[in-house]
């Protein structure tokens, strides 16, 4: 549609140009004819000024009137032709002008939008350039922070080593102190004559026998208790980080055990084969298949037992005594 409208506009422009050229040519030709006629009339007047007659004046007047009428008729026909041609031409020109005005407005709006976008892009580019400059200025500070972190890591490793060495020193010191105390206690228990007590000798011999021999012979046990000295076992050396991880793991295990203990079922026995179970916020009753169901199926009233109680009035006797009572007469009758 746009191509067709463009072609129509081009054709209308060409027709309008041709019409304007024709109009200008006709006007120029008419003006040229009028100028020639005026020159001829002037020359004739100059010639006829010398000799004037009434008939010649009348003939000249008639001829001039005829020429003027023919010229006016030609002008009228020309104007009619121009009006008949210029009507649709002017309509086409108006349409073309309206379309061109609309296209110009669209072009102006597009130009404004393009200029606004270009300005926004320029501002964005400026902000990006500023950010890049700031990043370039931040690189040295980032390098400094990395160096600082590495330095702190080295210091932490050195501190861990110092702590481990201090812990080892304290452990060895405690062990040496305990050993010295145990030796002092042993020296106090030894008599002044320089001979060891029989209890200590027996304990030492027992320990040697237990460690060296695997026989099942009886062991002599002293009546006096030997000094109970507990020595600490050698523990593995752990760094500060490993100790922290161990403590964290133990705390997590305690938390999990606590959560599991909360979620565990609490069971309470109510009767034979009947239990009450509490889990979280729920509480329900459980009946076992062997005892609970059988008990629920048993009748609540024992008819046979009630009948026996009613007959015996609560006194239940054996059948042997009953037979004896029935066969033997009463004592009072036999004596009589």
Q: Given a cut of 50, is residue 325 above it in pLDDT?
A: no
Span 210-233, mean pLDDT? 53
Tell me how far apart the alpha carbons of residues 217 and 201 are, in angstroms, rounded to a whole number: 18
Tell me how far apart the alpha carbons of residues 46 and 254 are, in angstroms, rounded to a whole number: 143
Q: Is 268 strand, coil or helix?
A: strand
Three-state helix/strand/coil letters over 148-215: HHHHHHHHHHHHHHHHHHHHHHHHHHHHHHHHHHHHHHHHHHCCCCCCCCHHHHHHHHHHHHHHHCCC
Instruction: Name the residue with higher pLDDT: 104 or 235.
Output: 104
Instruction: Name the residue with higher pLDDT: 151 or 210.
Output: 151
In sequence order, which residues have a C-beta less than 8 Å from that of residue 221 and are 6 or more positions away?
202, 206
In sequence order, which residues have a C-beta less than 8 Å from that of residue 283 and are 6 or more positions away?
276, 277
pLDDT for res 4 = 45
Q: Given a cut of 80, is residue 65 above it in pLDDT?
A: no
Tell me how far apart the alpha carbons of residues 311 and 303 are, in angstroms, rounded to a whole number: 13
Q: Which of 27-41, 74-88, 104-118, 255-269 has the lowest mean pLDDT?
A: 74-88
Residue 321 pLDDT grade (very low, low, confident, very high; cuts 50, 70, 90): very low
Span 84-92, mean pLDDT? 64
pLDDT for res 329 = 46
Q: Is 306 strand, coil or helix?
A: helix
Highest mean pLDDT: which range of 106-110, 185-189, 264-268: 106-110
pLDDT for res 330 = 46
pLDDT > 90 in the chain, percent: 7
pLDDT in tens, 277-299: 887 778 888 888 777 777 777 77
Burial pattern 140-158, b for ≥16 Cβ within 10 A else e, equals: eeeeeeeeeeeeeeeeeee
Span 215-234, mean pLDDT? 55
| pLDDT, mean over the chain | 70
pLDDT for res 198 = 47
DSSP 250-267: HHHHHHHHHHHHHHS-EE
Instruction: Name the residue with higher pLDDT: 169 or 225.
Output: 169
pLDDT for res 258 = 82
Tell me how far apart the alpha carbons of residues 11 and 128 are, in angstroms, rounded to a whole number: 52
Beta-strand pair 274-279/282-287: antiparallel
pLDDT for res 196 = 47
Q: Given a cut of 90, is residue 181 above it in pLDDT?
A: no
Residue 275 near residue 263, CB atoms below 8 Å: no
- Token pair, residue 113, equals 């939008």
Span 272-277, mean pLDDT? 84
Tell me how far apart the alpha carbons of residues 30 and 74 are, in angstroms, rounded to a whole number: 9
């Amino acid at each position: 549609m746009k191509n067709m409208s463009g072609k129509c506009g081009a054709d209308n422009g060409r027709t309008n140009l041709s019409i304007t050229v024709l109009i200008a040519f006709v006007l120029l030709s008419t003006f040229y004819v009028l100028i020639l006629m005026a020159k001829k009339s002037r020359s004739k007047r100059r010639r006829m000024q010398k000799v004037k007659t009434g008939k010649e004046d009348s003939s000249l007047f008639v001829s001039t009137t005829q020429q003027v009428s023919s010229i006016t008729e030609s002008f009228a026909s020309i104007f009619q032709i121009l009006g008949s041609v210029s009507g649709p031409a002017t309509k086409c020109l108006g349409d073309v002008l309206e379309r061109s005005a609309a296209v110009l407005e669209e072009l102006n709006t597009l130009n404004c939008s393009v200029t606004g976008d270009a300005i926004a892009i320029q501002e964005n580019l400026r902000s990006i350039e500023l950010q890049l400059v700031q990043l370039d200025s931040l690189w040295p500070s980032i390098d400094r922070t990395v160096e600082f972190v590495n330095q702190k890591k080295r210091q932490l490793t050195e501190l861990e080593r110092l702590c481990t060495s201090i812990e080892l020193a304290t452990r060895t010191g405690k062990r040496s102190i305990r050993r010295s105390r145990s030796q002092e206690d042993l020296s106090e228990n030894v008599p002044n004559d320089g001979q060891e007590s029989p209890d200590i000798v027996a304990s030492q011999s027992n320990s040697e026998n237990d460690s060296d021999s695997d026989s099942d012979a009886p062991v002599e046990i002293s009546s006096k208790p030997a000094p109970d000295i507990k020595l600490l076992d050698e523990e593995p050396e752990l760094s500060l980080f490993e100790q922290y991880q161990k403590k964290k793991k133990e705390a997590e295990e305690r938390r999990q055990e606590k959560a599991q203990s909360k979620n565990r079922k609490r069971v309470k026995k109510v009767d034979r084969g009947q239990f009450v179970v509490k889990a979280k916020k729920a509480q329900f009753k459980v009946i076992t298949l062997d005892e609970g169901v059988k008990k629920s199926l048993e009748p609540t009233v024992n008819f046979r037992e009630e009948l026996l109680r009613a007959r015996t009035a609560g006194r239940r006797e054996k059948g042997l005594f009953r037979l004896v009572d029935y066969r033997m007469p009463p004592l009072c009758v036999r004596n009589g």
